Chains A and B, each alone.
Chain A
Amino acid sequence: MSLALFIEQILNGLQFGVMLFLMAAGLTLIFGVMGLINLAHGSLFMVGAFACATVAAATGSFWLGLVASLAAAAAAGAVVEILVIRRLYERNHLDQVLATFALILIFSEGTRWVFGSFPLYLDIPALLSGAVRLPGGAQYPVYRLAVIGVGIAVAIGLYLLIGKTRLGMRIRAGESDREMIAALGIDIGTLYTLVFALGAALAGLAGAMVGALQSVQVGMGEPVLILAFVVIVIGGIGSIKGALIGSILVGLTETLGRFLLPHAFALFMPPSDAATIGAALASMLIYIVMALILAFRPSGLFAANA
């Protein structure tokens, strides 16, 4: 196994991780600040991808599509928050899960009504197409490097927003004591709508960027949603830092596991069996990691309210 292959796989893991981070950051913010379990987060991811594909097809510009994905997902998030989610804060988690699951179905069938059942076309922009040569001889697609860049920029942006601005201060305050900051005269309703729209916009951005790599189709958000939940459980619910570390950890485990486990089994069994068993075990690996982490740190790596 060459060094170039190894470097390429590490980058793949990193890229997958930051993409998960964009999903997990919104999810963990919403859970941390409002105590809401939002299963419909994957639908917002899908809304972003469809908005990007539609606008890119109409205008020919991926970049306009990207802007549209942010706007559409944030708008969808704000509308959903005002119409549905707002009524759920005082309810228990089961009601929240039921209502947001209903939202998944509504979003999926609504999207099928509008766009049909066949996947849409979305390609990466010409500026970011092709591959670059990395030190060590590995070739790597420019677009994936750009995704890593965007993920890091968003992580820094969120850190500054939450740590250094007035809005961030209110978000943190809302997280620790909802009644108190309402009593201090802050419009908690608007704050919640803002946070929800911010989380939705991040999911939409992830959807648009991933849509160019994968296929833009109904139901594309749910597999990512499951991984995003794993990430926030590992990272500690409500913690942005935990979401970042958790998503990189999940991204690397998933990618390297898929790559290394079949090789490891091939040392002592026939390659065909090794491929099957390795693949089966690799798909369980992140859940094994999650179980191990929870065994030692039951509230995750960086629990916000610990």
Chain B
Amino acid sequence: MKKLLAASILALSAGLAGNAFAEPVKIGMITTLSGGGAGLGIDARDGFMLAVKQSGNKEIEVVTEDDAQKPELAVQIADKMVQSDKVDLMTGIIWSNLAMAVVPAVTAQDIIYLSVNAGPSALAGAGCNANYFNVAYQNDNFHEAMGEAANKDYKKTFILAPNYPAGKDSLTGFKRYYKGELAGEVYTKLGQTDYAAEIAQIRASGADSVFIFLPGGMGIAFTKQYAQSGVGLPLLGPAFSFSQDVLPAIGDAALGVKNTASWSQDLDNEANKAFVAGFKEEYGRLPSVYAAQAYDTANLILAAAAKASVKDKDAFRAALKEADFKSVRGKFSFNTNNHPIQDFYVREVVKDGDTLTNKIIGTAFTDHKDAYAGECKM
């Protein structure tokens, strides 16, 4: 009886206070804020914090730590956050190898982890977990979308990715949907910055298009060198190599490049307009896809926390799974393996005034699910 009374008082006060939570929420964010990959982590952090700020909610606390893109450091920080900071939720990791080091360990301790970017296949299939929610994508998705989109115009594509797990996932994803012939398949060294040898092979291969997955500095280097080489074949890729964080550094060499993502800054919905305008005002630059995914993650947490107490894990997981928030991607829902079901768009790099940015030119997939959900027993 006492419990019921307390609950009804709580419900009443929650109704009066508007968006007050049942319970304050403490979130641990591990992301990359230094080193070569820092641009991605900073965008994710800024997107996340923007959503928290816009909500005006004082009961949410975020502890942020830099993993320097090192798995061993990420593991130490995760331990500290769980044991001494006593966080309720964790989020923020950009890189799949770091996610693999941290996520299985923290979800086993009954901490809920929400991914803002990394989506390794190992965590989507047999290794899925009720405490792991991916708000971004499964790693293969962007590449699958480009494979599908390439079928329309191209018959003979040259494909290239770095020689590491996500690079192999990338080319596998592309090939899963691409029906044309491959003019060549090349794996480069991770972190390689000179692509003259590969560009020469592309020139000699008789390809009609080139697909690359080269995140961060690798993509900047490749795209500039490719433009200088005069090969001139259409360039395709997932959004990572042509996202807002790297476009200013590539310059006009990126113009006309087609890339696939689940989000674009010109996506026409209210939530996205508020996000893009808010981000520009707060940080003075355009948001990248990493910022958009992190912004969605924060809003998902806020929506779930308004419905259920974070201390009641079952109720909170159920509230998360409903995905009852206004996504900047328009539609968003969770599949059985807690990975998104969402649309994928083809974007093209264009010049808007003096700023390079992406515009949507088509849809590659509607309500796309990842290929591993069937293996997930949850």
Q: Which residues of A contact B (CB under 8 A)?
A: 1-2, 4-5, 8-9, 12-13, 15-16, 108-109, 112, 117-121, 123-124, 129-131, 139, 141, 143-144, 210, 212-220, 223, 255-256, 258-259, 262, 271-272, 275-276, 279-280, 282-283
Q: Are A220 and B249 in contact (CB under 8 A)?
A: no
Pick from A130, A139, A283: contact of B189, CB under 8 Å: A283
Q: Are B221 and A215 in contact (CB under 8 A)?
A: yes
Give the CA-CA distance A259 to B204 in the complex, in Å: 12
Q: Which residues of A contact B189 (CB under 8 A)?
A: 258, 279, 282-283
Pick from A123, A131, A276: contact of B163, CB under 8 Å: A276
Interface residues on B, range: 35 or more
B142 to chain A: closest CB distance in Å? 21
Which 3 pairs across A and B sit closest by C-beta, in order of nearness? A215-B220, A119-B249, A12-B196
| Known A-B contacts A117-B38, A117-B39, A214-B193; A271 and B185 likewise in contact (beta carbons under 8 Å) | yes
| Known A-B contacts A9-B200, A219-B36; A213 and B187 likewise in contact (beta carbons under 8 Å) | no
Q: Are B163 and A280 in contact (CB under 8 A)?
A: yes
Q: Which residues of B contact A (CB under 8 A)?
A: 33-36, 38-39, 42, 163, 168, 185-189, 191, 193-194, 196-198, 200-201, 203-204, 217, 220-221, 224-225, 228-230, 245-246, 248-251, 253
Q: Which residues of A contact B197 (CB under 8 A)?
A: 9, 12-13, 255-256, 258-259
Q: Which residues of B contact A212 (CB under 8 A)?
A: 224
Q: Are B185 and A275 in contact (CB under 8 A)?
A: yes
B319 to chain A: closest CB distance in Å? 34
Q: Are B224 and A119 in contact (CB under 8 A)?
A: no
Pick from A2, A117, A213, A283: contact of B224, CB under 8 Å: A213
The secondary-structure label for the interface of chain B is: helix
Closest to A277 in B: B187
Supply 16 A–B pairs (Cβ within 8 Å), ascending by A.
Answer: A5-B201, A117-B39, A118-B249, A121-B249, A123-B224, A123-B253, A131-B230, A139-B229, A141-B225, A141-B230, A213-B221, A213-B224, A217-B36, A217-B217, A218-B36, A220-B217
Q: Are A259 and B201 in contact (CB under 8 A)?
A: yes
Q: Are B186 and A5 in contact (CB under 8 A)?
A: no
B361 to chain A: closest CB distance in Å? 25
Give the CA-CA distance A108 to B34 in the complex, in Å: 9
B42 to chain A: closest CB distance in Å? 5
Give the CA-CA distance A121 to B247 in the complex, in Å: 9
Q: Given contacts A5-B200, A117-B39, could you give 18 more A-B pairs where the C-beta distance is less than 8 Å?
A: A2-B204, A5-B204, A8-B200, A13-B197, A118-B248, A121-B249, A121-B251, A130-B228, A130-B230, A213-B225, A213-B228, A215-B246, A217-B217, A218-B35, A220-B36, A220-B217, A275-B185, A279-B187
Most B C-beta atoms less than 10 A away, residue of A109, A112, A119, A256: A119
A301 to chain B: closest CB distance in Å? 24
Q: Are B229 and A141 in contact (CB under 8 A)?
A: yes
Q: Are A279 and B186 in contact (CB under 8 A)?
A: yes
Pick from B204, B221, B229: contact of A131, CB under 8 Å: B229
Q: Are A276 and B187 in contact (CB under 8 A)?
A: yes
Most A C-beta atoms less than 10 A away, residue of B36, B38, B186, B197: B197
A101 to chain B: closest CB distance in Å? 15
Give the CA-CA distance A194 to B201 in the complex, in Å: 43
Q: Which residues of A contact B221 (CB under 8 A)?
A: 213-215
Closest to B198 in A: A258
Give the CA-CA distance A15 to B196 in the complex, in Å: 10
Q: Are A121 and B163 in contact (CB under 8 A)?
A: no
Closest to A212 in B: B224
Give the CA-CA distance A112 to B196 in the complex, in Å: 29
B199 to chain A: closest CB distance in Å? 9
Q: Which residues of A contact B228 (CB under 8 A)?
A: 124, 129-131, 141, 143, 213
Q: Which residues of B contact A117 (CB under 8 A)?
A: 33-34, 38-39, 42
Pick from B35, B163, B217, B230: contact of A279, CB under 8 Å: B163
Q: Are B251 and A123 in contact (CB under 8 A)?
A: yes
Q: Are A16 and B194 in contact (CB under 8 A)?
A: yes
Q: Which residues of B contact A217 (CB under 8 A)?
A: 36, 217, 220, 249
B95 to chain A: closest CB distance in Å? 15
Pick from B34, B39, B191: contact of A223, CB under 8 Å: B191
Give the CA-CA distance A58 to B185 in the complex, in Å: 41
A244 to chain B: closest CB distance in Å? 19
Q: Which residues of A contact B186 (CB under 8 A)?
A: 262, 275, 279
Q: Are A5 and B203 in contact (CB under 8 A)?
A: yes
A54 to chain B: closest CB distance in Å? 13
A4 to chain B: closest CB distance in Å? 7
B176 to chain A: closest CB distance in Å? 13
